[in-house]
Amino acid sequence: MSNSESKPAPGTAEQMINAGWYTELSPMWPGQGLTLKMKEVLYKSRSDFQDVCVFESESMGTVLLLDGVIQCTDRDEFSYQEMIAHIPMCSLERPAKKVLVVGGGDGGVLRELARYPHVEEIHMAEIDKMVPEVSKRFFPEMAVGFSDPRVTLHICDGIKFVEDAPADSYDLIVVDSSDPVGPAEVLFEKPFFEALHRAVRPGGIVCTQAESLWLHLDIIKALATMCSQVFVGGSVSYATTTIPTYPSGQIGMMVCAKASSAQPGGGEAGGAEGAGAPLDPRTPRQPEPGALPALGVGELQYYSHEVHTAAFALPVFAKKALAGCLTFQ
C-alpha cells in the first residue's frame, strides 16, 4: 500500500485525531459535529458491545467516548447527572427508598443519588462491564458513587433485569442510556417502557434520557406519545438541561409518573394535587440534596428547585410540536 493510500481520508474523524482533534460524527446529528482539541489518548479498547475510548482534551478535561459518541467530560458532566437524578427524586411525593439505574455505567447518576440519606438501596443494571471499570480508572469523581455501600452493581441486560423485577419494586427508575442506535436502541421501545411501568410503584417515577429538542423532535414526540399510552392515569413530562458537549448543547429527559390509587391501575392515595390527580413533576417536593463528605462529593453545581421548575418550560416551537403529547403544557 502506498503512503497516499494509507493516509486517512480528508475530513474523517481518523484524520482529525491524527491532526490532534476529535470530531464527533453521527447520523443522529447529520451535517454537524462537535470538535475538541486533544492532548492525549488515555485509553482505547473494544468491549463486547462497543468501542470505548478516553482522551484528555484541552478545554473539557477527560472525555469518555462510546462508539465515538461523547458520553461525559470532566467539565460539564454535572449538568446532566444532577438534572436526570434530582428532578425525579425531588418530584416524588414521598422520599425514595429504593432506586434503580439502568445504564449509567460512568457512575455519575449513582453519585447524585447517594446524596439522599433516606435512600436504602440503589441498584444499577449495566450491560457493559468495561464502562464502570474505565470510569473508576479515569473519572474517579464520577465513579465515587460505586463506593456507596447502598449500591449494588449488576452487569446484565438492563431490559431483562427490569422484566424480572417484582412489580412495584422501585420508587424511582432512572434510564441513563446513550442514543437510540446500537445496543441502546431497545431502551426506547414500548415493551421496555411497559416493563418499567410494571417495576415502579404507584406514584413512583421513571425518568429517561430523551434527546435534543433541536435535533430529535420527531423522536421526542414519538417517545412522549408512547409513554402516554403506557403511563395511563399518570403523567408524562419533558424537562431540559444545557450541556456544552452534547449535540446542540441541550438534552432532555422524559419524566413519567405512574398513576396512584385513585387513578387507573394505581395502588396508593392521591397526592398534594388532589385525590386522583396525576403527579405534576414541575413542582419540587423533596429538599435539595447537599454534599456527601463521606464520599468527597461537594455541593450541587447545577440543580436547584428554581432550575427544576424552569426545566419544564419549553420554547414555543417545541411546545407546538409536542402539543397533545405531554400531560402538562
Sign of CA dihedral 36, 37, 43, 47: positive
What is the dihedral angle through the alpha carbons of 295, 148, 197, 80, rounded to the nearest 10 degrees?
30
C-alpha cell at 136: 473508576
Instruction: Give the count of beta carbons closer than 10 Å to the beta carbon of residue 177.
Output: 20
Radius of gyration of the chain (CA): 20
User: If you write DSSP's letter for every residue of 194-244 in order, what string do you get?
Assistant: HHHHHHEEEEEEEEEE---TTT-HHHHHHHHHHHHHHSTTSEEEEEEEE-T
CA proximity to 19, closest of 33, 8, 30 = 8
Site of grid cell 423522536: 219
Whether 280 sits among the annotated catalytic residues: the reply is no
Q: Which of 171, 176, 179, 280 is catalytic?
A: 176
CA proximity to 125, closest of 114, 109, 136 = 109
Catalytic machinery residues: 176
